[in-house]
Chain A
Amino acid sequence: MSRIVRPPVDAGQTIDATTLNATYNDYNQPGALDENNVRDQAFDLPHLNNISIIKNSATALLGDANMLHTGPAVQYPSSLASPPTVTRVGNAAGTPTFLDFGASGWPMVGGDVLRVWWNFGVISFIGMAPPTPYLNPGAMGQYTLEDRAAGPSHIVTDGFHCWLAYLQWDITSNALTNFVAVSGQMDPALGVKGTVRDGFEVELLSAATVISPYQVTSDGDARDGKVSATLPTQAHGWYAPYGMYCFTTNVAMTVYGVRLVITGLLHPFLNPAGNRENLLVYDYTQGDALYFLLGRGGRISAVHMRRF
């Protein structure tokens, strides 16, 4: 507790202004008051000025607002060759759908937090009919299993192909023509980490969601680690991938918009050099005009808040 100790002045005693001013200064020192100078329950919400932890919030439609299976849908193509294709999410009319934070954007100061959530309904059209493309020569993720009857071995796929959806933001201007991957997330690199592959470093996927196009199953055939035929694959039906992103800044910056982009198809890859990091790279053998991700509708939301 802030307490001032000064000898009392007796009634009738004559003092000069020096003493009086010293006492005045006792009570005028900055920072002298603390919580112990205030009685219990002294403050209530009306005393707190503009301290909502939320500074801004917004939500927007992704794609089209139609959940019927006959409703409009948009094709997000697979990448056929280098450089890869990265497609922003939009509606069937060709209009991009994203979070627009307005002419002034969201000005973030040091200590502010940006949080984003999204969901988006998709179905993957890729390799439905046999022979499955994942077993085409050169397709990534193939390995060999022994035949149960000691016959020729079987080439199978590991099933780790995926689409990738991730967030980009525009922190340049409200013209919204400078979208780049958000902090902690990378846009695809050509020859990532010095390899001959295009793709992503797995440690730089802070705003990414992987979307599985199909499943591979033993379907009751595998026994003692052996199979009698290659493993069948089966496409997933419609489902709704989702994502969450959080970011805090130590410097002032302005975010004018956030959007979702989709790219693929990718597959795990081990960097053969350096720290031997895990990579996620494009498998262009899976690029085909018939292979695409069909997206329908979803929603993206964001809040801008104080970290403390």
Chain B
Amino acid sequence: MKQWTQHDARTAQTTEAEQFNTQHQAFRGEMIGLDRTQLPEGALAQTQLSNACLHQCYLFNPWSTGVIGANGEQTRYRAAAADTQPEQWRAINYRNFGSGWFTCFETTLQPFKGGNLLTEWYGNCAIQTAFNETYNTTYAGGSQTGAPNEKFLGLRILYNGAIVAERIGPAKAMDHFMISGAQQMPSGPVTLTLQAKPGSAGPDDPVTEFGSTLLLMQCHLFANRVFAIGRFR
């Protein structure tokens, strides 16, 4: 709070112009000269900083893709209930999925003032791993002839469309995973994209149950949670 330092003017008091100018000059000196030498240590508390002044956390737990009843799940490939085994999930099967990377979750992180952006993606998955080694396929370079039919679930994190982290993911039938990545990013909103790459169909993989039209679940991601933190500098 500013205080009179040169004169203390009272109501209806008559003053000289120089009296005013002296005080004016004193104020002006304070206004344009604030620096670390004039402020005591600890002068700036958290409440005086604007939100997201130094950092910003972004939480998506569970993530929402807008599909009712499916928070935290990938819903890009979601089998119709009528095509789903009663003791499996509406998920990826060999009729709705071919091959390649697909986006599980995408959002815009803002405000982002420029600096380091760290993302942790944790999730669970179901993978039909039983047929990673069949009559005509081998498993991860094994002794049998034939092409590999690995069922690893690939995972990767992208910022503004550029890959910042990628890994060979889980390979158990019911498994969990974590992938994290960090990158220096310029200021402005950042598009965070999380992608997965299930194994594609092998030549010997069964697609449906014998004598049934119900499709077998091949892969699903569920109980996903994402934490990101921007450290602005």
Contacts and interface: CB of A to CB of B under 8 A. Distances in A.
Interface of A: 2, 8-21, 23-24, 27-28, 33, 37-39, 42-44, 46-51, 53, 113, 115, 140-146, 153, 156, 158-162, 184, 201-206, 208-212, 215-226, 231, 236, 241-248, 267-270, 272, 274-278, 305-308
Contact of A222 (B12, B53, B205): B205
Nearest to B30: A27
A48 B47 CA distance: 11
Nearest to B82: A276
B62 interface: yes
B122 A206 contact: no
B178 A244 contact: yes
Interface stretch (B31-39, B153-161, B181-189, B191-199): B31-39
Contacts of A219: 133
A49 B41 CA distance: 8
Q: What size tier do the contact residues of chain B reach? A: 35 or more
A246 B131 contact: no
Contacts of B89: 202, 268, 270, 278
B28 to A, nearest CB: 9
Contacts of B122: 243-244
Contacts of A33: 31, 34
Contact of A206 (B1, B61, B211): B61
A223 B135 contact: yes
A39 B34 contact: yes
A222 B206 contact: yes
A44 B56 CA distance: 20
A200 to B, nearest CB: 9
Nearest to B208: A225
Interface of B: 1-2, 4, 7, 9-21, 23-24, 27, 31-36, 39, 41-46, 49, 51-57, 59, 61-62, 68-73, 81, 84-91, 120, 122, 124, 126, 128-136, 144, 172-176, 178, 203-207, 209-212, 216-217, 220, 222-223, 225, 227
A203 B78 CA distance: 14
B140 to A, nearest CB: 12
B60 to A, nearest CB: 9
Nearest to A2: B31
Most chain B CB neighbours (cut-off 10 Å) among A15, A161, A226, A231: A15
B217 to A, nearest CB: 7
A246 to B, nearest CB: 4
A260 to B, nearest CB: 14
B135 A308 contact: no
A308 B124 CA distance: 28
Contacts of B85: 143, 270
Contact of B225 (A9, A225, A245, A276): A245
B20 to A, nearest CB: 5
B69 A49 contact: no
A43 B9 contact: no
A306 to B, nearest CB: 8
Contacts of A236: 172
Contact of B124 (A18, A158, A205, A307): A205
A19 B87 contact: no
A208 B15 contact: no
A51 to B, nearest CB: 5
A160 B44 contact: no
